[in-house]
Structure 1
Amino acid sequence: MRVIGLVSGTSHDAVDAAAADLVLDGDTVVLAPLGLVSEAYPEALRSALSAALPPAATTMRDVCALDTRIGQAFAALAARADRELCEGRADLIGFHGQTVYHWTEGGEVRGTLQLGQPAWVAEATGCPVVSDLRTRDVAAGGQGAPLVSLVDALWLRGRPGVCAALHLGGTATITVVSGVGDPLAFDTGPANALIDAAARELTGGGLDHDADGTMAARGTVHEPLLERLLAEPYYARPAPKTTGKEPFPAACLRAALAATGPVPDDDVVATVTGLAARTVADAVRKVHATEVIASGGGTRNPSLMGALRRELGPIALRTSDDLGLPVAAKEAHAFAVLAFLTAHGLAGTVPSCTGARHPSVLGSITPGRRGLGLPAAGRPAPTRLEVFRR
């Protein structure tokens, strides 16, 4: 089955589409990557999305407009991915949508909201679309995240030692896989989101991120500011736990700076970069990981990766490129796999990772122009994922 996975992270800067040939061979999902295409959100859409995110107020009209316009942006990219990567023969699309709010109270997730109307994607491509992938896990008592944990668990099973798959997106997420016990997954805290916010804040909007880690490279970690940022209660909470950007807005950084006094701009960016590295490394040490395999946009930031290597010390740090999954496409490929599992009536969650009461088949299905046939029940769940390198 030829499947396209569509994602946009909490940095909401671009939309990604990764395509793969997927086959269920006995107990193994075989994934052959077909490529990745990406497009920046139109600037007007990105500005409207940023203006509507918490803690800002918004209106139902704005929510409706965002739901439509995000769906249309993804639809255009999905059609391009079908043409350029699948020769117009895509069978299925997994559509994550754009997370705009992750509702937590008292350490529990009450709900989660991803915008992007899937009907636009189905209309543009003719393919059935699996969307709204997180809500079923929340209904089953889970965090609704990290959903890539199932794919990580299948992919890394059998590696020696204790392996931590790390995704450096807007937030940093790890999945811990070992030969003993069930896998574990959780968000460690902010990664690119707080770095991007600091760059925007300090340059008055002149920059929207720290390109190539340049500001951080010029700066020095300001220890009093780092200690204040590390006081955020989220870091001490036990797993399973997930977060969006809500606990880590630019306002928190401003409050920390007000308490520490003036700090040079480059030092501020170096400090929030160090914060991401420190909180990831602290989490990795707590689970006794012997290897970290990183993916996501943060791997393109040399300052972040350098800080992470220093914090990890003797713990090996590699990227998913080394194992056949391109760092920029891994998350989109993961949502392609989840859609593939849904199309086969198979669960897409690991309760030990999300905290749910049981595994769940994920998502809602929007039929394409060719209709949709549902699979027969009773197929055994896969236990491995193998990446086929062409």
Structure 2
Amino acid sequence: MTAMEPAPPQTVLGMLSGTSHDAVDVAAARLRFLDPHTIALRPLGLHSEPFPDTLRALIAAVLPPARTDLAQVCRLDTALGQFFGAVAARADTELTGGTADLVASHGQTVYHWVDDGRARGTLQLGAAAWIARATSLPVLSDLRTADLTLGGQGAPLVSLLDDLWLLGDGARRGALNLGGIANITVPGPAGAPRQVIAYDLGPANALIDAVVTADSGGAERMDTGGARAARGRVHPGLLERLLAEPYYRLPPPKSTGKELFHPGYPASVLRPGDPAGDDLVATLTELTARLVGTACRTHRLTELVVSGGGARNPVLMDRIRAAAAPAVLSTSDDHGLPAQAKEAYLFALLGFLGAHGLPGTRPSATGASAPAVLGSWTPGAQPLRLPAPHRGTPHRLVIERAD
């Protein structure tokens, strides 16, 4: 390949388990450079598998505020790596016919260490060697630490995808992801291209899921279809106390997780006579909507593109639509990527960038002092051979139609 020839396309598997720790998602994407500054991503599909109950219980047992020990962490790292590897191998067969070139695995976050507003460390489990063994492919993992070494939050990593894909045309458009935690990416100051702002807003599904799980004795794990919120009534007094959480007043960049918004968090705010059951779910749903609405007004958004599991909750979406007005809601499906699969496609993109020696962050979003080339490589069945570093800085991502 000469310096004038474009690098060949790569098929990448992007894999993660989010803060809800309910399933592993693997998205396959075909990625290539259209020119030195433009990447094309062709979605090839999403493969999802729920965690077995025993493995999900192991994850829950180490998440804050639970106490754990290194034996539990070691066993969980191994079990997750083995499960991720099996899922990735099945996804490769199902989605690409066994033609994937590499895997980018986010793993399962079990702790995100934030002290006095600064991210000090982060831990994602799921030993990459097991994934490489199961798939015979090179694996890029540990995708957050490099940003932390440069003073960044290591989050939200989705800000790069949002910037390349949705924010580069000068519109006051924002991107919202509704996972266990809600995060948002918005344009930076006018006249400052690539200076995007991104941060974790606060809880989206995390607290709702915790209340539903406890209230149902484990029979339900989420507010499916927003049914509980629809039956419940918002408690204004409790809502105001929830909104008084000091985290919300911190300036971006900032990040959070279940270290703060853990299953016991609602009980720390509740007082005698406060609502429970469906009314508590409705109030927590309204909390997320209010946080989103405040962000839309603060950043003067005219459009908000929503993705993540919370996009399937019609009550949450209706409350956000009302709170975000006059900003208009759309979903990432409307722009070419399925809302449920967007984060998995993010990690496919980060794998592609990492393979070409390109940064996977926007420093203005994470707070880092410089862009970071993300991740650590684990070879597959063959010696690790990466493409020559790409000459150029990507400024645009084009979503191509699947065949």
Q: Could you say whether these structures have the same fold, taking a TM-score greater than 0.5 normalized by the shorter chain as the test?
A: yes
Report the CA distance between 1:208 and its aligned residue.
1.2
Displacement after TM superposition at 1:87 (Å):
0.7
Structure 2 letter corresponding to 1:174 = I
1:188 aligns with 2:198: no
Query: Deviation string for 1:213-257 (max 9, x for gaps)?
Result: 110010111111111111110001000001112212232211222
The equivalent of 2:7 in structure 1 is none
Correspondence for 2:237 among 207, 211, 224: 224
Partners of 1:87 and 1:17 lie apart in 2 by: 14
Match of 1:131 among 118, 141, 145: 141
Change in Cα spacing, 1:61 to 1:309, as seen in structure 2 (3 Å) is same
Q: Share of identical aligned residues, percent?
A: 56
SS at match of 2:48: strand
TM-score, structure 2 normalization:
0.94
Partner Cα separation in structure 1 for residue 305 and residue 348 of structure 2:
20
Is residue 106 of structure 1 aligned with residue 116 of structure 2?
Answer: yes
Alpha-carbon distance in 1 for matches of 2:211, 2:259? 15
Query: In the alignment, is the contact (CA less than 8 A) between 2:172 and 2:303 conserved in 1?
Result: yes
Distance change >3 Å, CA 262–CA 353, structure 1 → 2: closer
Contact 2:238 2:274 in 1 (8 A): no
Alpha-carbon separation, structure 2, partners of 1:132 and 1:174: 22
Task: Please give the alpha-carbon distance, in whole angstroms, between the structure 2 residues aligned to 1:261 and 1:247.
Answer: 24
Partner AA of 1:48 in structure 2:
L
Partner of residue 25, structure 1: 34
2:31 partner letter: L
- Superposed displacement of residue 157, structure 1: 3.6
Residue type of the alignment partner of 1:112: T
User: Offset at 1:378?
Assistant: 5.8
Counting only pairs closer than 5 Å after superposition, residues 100-179 of structure 1 correspond to structure 2 as 100-177=110-187
Cα distance in structure 2, aligned partners of 1:315 and 1:186: 19
Question: What SS does the corresponding residue of 2:368 show, helix, strand or coil?
Answer: coil
Give me the CA root mean square deviation.
1.2
Q: State whether structure 2 residue 398 is matched by structure 1 residue 389.
A: no
1:90 aligned residue: 100
Cα contact 1:94–1:131 (8 A) shared by 2: yes
Superposed CA deviations along residues 295-324 of structure 1, whole A, max 9, x for unmatched, are: 000000111111111111221100000000
1:181-205 per-residue CA deviation (whole Å, 9 max, x = no partner) reads 2111101000011110111122222
Instruction: Work out whether 1:200 is the aligned partner of 2:210.
Output: no
The reply to whether residue 343 of structure 1 matches residue 352 of structure 2 is: no
CA distance in 1, matches of 2:13, 2:359: 19
> Are the counterparts in 2 of residues 189 and 280 from structure 1 also a CA contact under 8 Å?
no
Partner of 1:14: 23
Matches within 5 A, 1:57-76: 57-76=67-86
| One-letter amino acid of the counterpart of residue 125, structure 2 | L
Secondary structure of 1:250's counterpart equals: coil
Residue 371 of structure 1: aligned partner: 383
Q: Provide TM-score, normalisation by structure 1.
A: 0.97
Partner SS, residue 257 of structure 2: coil
Q: Deviations over 1:308-341 (max 9, x none)?
A: 1111122110000000001111100001000100
**Contact 1:173-1:188 at 8 Å conserved across structures:** yes
1:143-176 alpha-carbon deviations (Å, 9 max, x no partner): 0011111111111144352111111000001111
